Amino acid sequence: MRRSKTHLLTPFIVFTALTPCLWPQTSVPQVYSYIQDPATGVMGLSVVKVARDGPKEAIDQILPVGPGRAKEFHNHILYDLQAHKIYTKLVSDPSVPCSVMTYTSPAVPDEFDVITASADSMKDFLAHAQLLRRETVNGIPAKVMELTADQMKVTAWIADPGGFPVKEVIVPPGGAATTMLEVKQLSFARPPASAFAPPTGCKEVSGEATATGAHAEFSTGAPASKPTVNVAAVKLDSVSNYTGPCPAHIKFTGTITTDGPGKVFYQFGAGKMEPGDTVTFTAAGTKTVSHVVTFNKPDPGFGDQIGVYPILEAVGEDASGNHDASMQGSNNSGFTITCTGTAAAAPARPPYSPSTPQAVPPAPAPAGNARVTSVAIQVTPQHYTGACPVAVKLVGTLKTDGPGPAYFQFQAGAVGANNSGAVNVGADGTATVTNEGQVRRTPQVQSVRFLAGMEPRGHQENAKWMDAELDIHCTNAP
């Protein structure tokens, strides 16, 4: 089966004129729509639009043109909680097929919807924050709350009534204020039914998605046949640290060894997986593959250094050109890119809101004092000998010395579970994320890695990682 990574990103849909806001009396409303601009995630500042009508919720994320992004990114996700389905369509790239897969959680992921996530996500903050005043944000009455921890000041405007955040500003020590989120055009009128129409032409994806992660692979209607060739080994060459002008064009090189003739699908990754390619073997042996990845200079205030943790994965294809999701992988300890020269000025962009013009959001502030102090990864099962496929669960834990947004990566190609995302760390300084994978044959690389750091992603000297050694052997699929 053709392998796919379903990146469930933050939410939205495009609205025309919205009716006046009618304030609900329940603590968790079931019908609403809003625009979140800005929204902050692992891919940077974005515009998120959300529409919900009971068990159906449509979520879009738009990342505008900016440094390192010559084209607008637009992803559309539709959750049907009653039918237990999730539809994903990359609107900005029609060549990427729409997908539909099973979704088993009772709600959308917390990070996608500030209203449904408010009960848990705001609990620690509200328990320690101080009430400053009451004011209105974009027509929404709110309580202004403030919390300072480890010299990081977080100010949040909490809808009253409602109890969900409508604006959040952080000020790191010695840094400028950064707006992390702001809710606009909030309405509790029922969105049009057309907002929840499933995209057409979606491919069925086997596997299962939940609010905490997904194990997925595109299905062409039938299980993948046995590959015509097996990957015996994958090796990623180490990359030297780079200091020089940016954009930096870094060449990744690796080798793939097979047990016979056939075609192999492979991918390089560095934070995200690059487009895949294939290499053909006429006989058993080793071939060298390479790929050039471009790294842009971080935005102003994000420092001049980028931490990179590359990976190379490969898997044999069957006679129809399909492959399964379990890939042999190789990664190394990473390298750094130090960009020289003066950073370009932060580009201004108009807000997406068609209403009264708003001020351009301030440029991202430098990283604050909050740092990831330790990470841990647990793999279940870590030791296994028996029939495959076997499901594998990964639990990553990160501890920080202060609250704030963090990012994480599971570099777990050995168990078909490469994944990345974002998580907000509360005042207690601890966050846990989970991921799921599946082993179909004995992994050639018997290790997985969990990496985490504080946002912004391009400022990675505070990132930490931990590897877990595996002992997994498939008796029916060596």
**What is the secondary structure of 359-388 as a DSSP string?**
PPPPPPPPP-S--EEEEEEEEESSEEEESS
- How far apart, in whole angstroms, are the C-alpha atoms of residue 421 and residue 7? 8
**Which of 161 and 14 is assigned the larger pLDDT?**
161
Token pair recorded at residue 431:
């966050």
Query: Is it the case that residue 24 has pLDDT exceeding 50?
Result: no
Which of 110, 63, 44 is CA-nearest to residue 407?
Answer: 44
**Which of 222 and 141 is assigned the larger pLDDT?**
141
Contact criterion met (CB below 8 Å) for 424 and 118: no
CA distances for 431 relative to 109, 391, 434, angstroms: 15, 23, 10
Contact criterion met (CB below 8 Å) for 328 and 234: yes
- How far apart, in whole angstroms, are the C-alpha atoms of residue 247 and residue 437? 34
Rg (CA), the chain: 23
Query: Is it the case that residue 119 has pLDDT exceeding 70?
Result: no
Query: Is it the case that residue 178 has pLDDT exceeding 80?
Result: yes
Query: Is it the case that residue 357 has pLDDT exceeding 50?
Result: no
Contact criterion met (CB below 8 Å) for 57 and 73: no
- Per-residue pLDDT band at 78 (split at 50, 70, 90): very high
**Which of 83 and 39 is assigned the larger pLDDT?**
83
Token pair recorded at residue 430:
């601890």
Per-residue pLDDT tens digits for 261-297? 999 989 887 766 677 789 999 999 999 999 988 888 7
CATH of domain 368-478: 2.60.40.1460
Q: What is the DSSP letter of 54?
A: T
Per-residue pLDDT tens digits for 313-344? 888 888 877 776 556 666 655 777 888 864 34
- How far apart, in whole angstroms, are the C-alpha atoms of residue 198 and residue 143? 37
Which of 465, 336, 325, 462 is CA-nearest to residue 388?
Answer: 325
Query: Best-predicted range by mean pLDDT among 255-269, 333-347, 391-405, 409-423?
Result: 255-269
Q: Quick one: pLDDT at residue 49? A: 94
> Cβ neighbours of residue 390 under 8 Å, at least 6 residues apart?
381, 384, 438, 439, 472, 474
- Per-residue pLDDT band at 299 (split at 50, 70, 90): low
Same topology for domains 228-359 and 368-478, yes or no?
A: yes
**Which of 390 and 456 is assigned the larger pLDDT?**
390
**Which of 398 and 122 is assigned the larger pLDDT?**
398
> Cβ neighbours of residue 16 under 8 Å, at least 6 residues apart?
none
- How far apart, in whole angstroms, are the C-alpha atoms of residue 170 and residue 155? 6
**Helix, strand, or coil (residue 218):** strand
Q: Quick one: pLDDT at residue 333? A: 54
**Burial category of 194 from C-beta neighbours within 10 Å (exposed 0-12, middle 13-18, buried 19 and up):** exposed
**Helix, strand, coil: what percent of the chain each, to 5?**
5, 50, 45
Percent of the chain with pLDDT over 90: 21
| Amino acid letter for position 374 | S
Q: Quick one: pLDDT at residue 190? A: 95
**Helix, strand, or coil (residue 126):** helix
Torsion of CA 161, 166, 172, 178, to 10 degrees: -150
> Cβ neighbours of residue 342 under 8 Å, at least 6 residues apart?
none
Task: Show me where the domains of the chain are located.
Answer: 31-112+177-216, 228-359, 368-478
- How far apart, in whole angstroms, are the C-alpha atoms of residue 121 and residue 101? 27
Q: Quick one: pLDDT at residue 188? A: 94
CATH of 228-359, one of 3.30.465.10, 2.60.40.10, 3.90.1150.10, 3.40.50.300: 2.60.40.10
pTM above 0.85, yes or no: no
- Per-residue pLDDT band at 13 (split at 50, 70, 90): very low
Q: Quick one: pLDDT at residue 222? A: 42
What residues form DSSP beta bridges with 78?
58, 87
